[in-house]
Structure 1
Amino acid sequence: MNRTFMTNNEWAVGFMKELDSMLNGIESMNEKSKASFGNERFLTDKEVSAWLKVSRRTLQDYRNNGMVSYYQLGSKILYKESDIEKLVMGGYRNAYRLET
């Protein structure tokens, strides 16, 4: 009986590894299929707010204050990934207190 349990357990471990491998493949395909135009990825409000860890309302404030460029197609707002990277890098500050 113990051997049957081991066989089933090994099968379950193998099955879980296969599922993980399939999930990784699906996630990889999903990343490659993101909306792009001219080799530029476009992100939605939801994606940008999750990436920056800010609310969608804060993103609206950034747009209203001219802090970030965006595209509006009807009620849909899209951001170039490179514009969001510029926004983040624009906030970079060098360390002023360095250890010697």
Structure 2
Amino acid sequence: MAHTLLNLDSPEVTRYFQLLEYLSSLLEKDNHEYRPILNGERYLTETELSKLLKVTQRTLIEHRNNGKLPYYKFGGRILYKENDIIQILEKNRMEAFKTD
């Protein structure tokens, strides 16, 4: 049985390093989007929530100041509990009109 010597120029080694680079980039992307859970709850920043709801940060500030949006203030940072936002959306859900 003949043995093949592998080196850095071998197609198998090149492919191996390409796959490692690809997996590394996927993990890096996930790392940026990962939201850790604290006591079973996820918290969103103002920027994240405004992107999700497709509203300006100024609109979030107005809702917060009007008492429509619960929030947490930690240092100078504002956080919103994901489940609070989901409950508000569900509570304000409007049924579609039926046309028969």
Q: In which range does the TM-score fall when normalised by the shorter chain?
A: 0.5 to 0.7
Counterpart of 1:48 in structure 2 is 49
Counterpart of 1:95 in structure 2 is 96
What's the TM-score once normalised by structure 2's chain length? 0.67
Counterpart of 2:58 in structure 1 is 57
What's the TM-score once normalised by structure 1's chain length? 0.67
Counterpart of 2:74 in structure 1 is 73
Task: Provide the identity percentage.
Answer: 35
Q: Write 1 or 2 for the structure with the bigger share of helix.
A: 1
Distance 1:94 1:75, change over 3 A: same
State the Cα deviation string for residues 43-93 of structure 1 (Å, max 9, x = none): 100000000000111000111111111000121000000011112222211
- Show structure 2 runs of 5+ residues with no match: 1-17
C-alpha displacement of 1:96: 2.1
Counterpart of 1:84 in structure 2 is 85
Tell me which structure has the larger Cα radius of gyration.
2
Q: Which moved more, 1:40-49 or 1:80-89?
A: 80-89
Structure 2 residue matching 1:36: 3-state secondary structure = coil
- Show structure 1 runs of 5+ residues with no match: 1-14
Structure 1 segments of 4+ aligned residues over 2 angstroms from their partners: 21-31
- Work out the CA distance in 2 between the residues paired with 1:62 and 1:68: 6
In the alignment, residue 39 of structure 1 is paired with which amino acid? G
Counterpart of 1:8 in structure 2 is none
Counterpart of 2:10 in structure 1 is none
Counterpart of 1:9 in structure 2 is none
Q: Which moved more, 1:21-30 or 1:88-97?
A: 21-30
Give the number of aligned pairs: 87
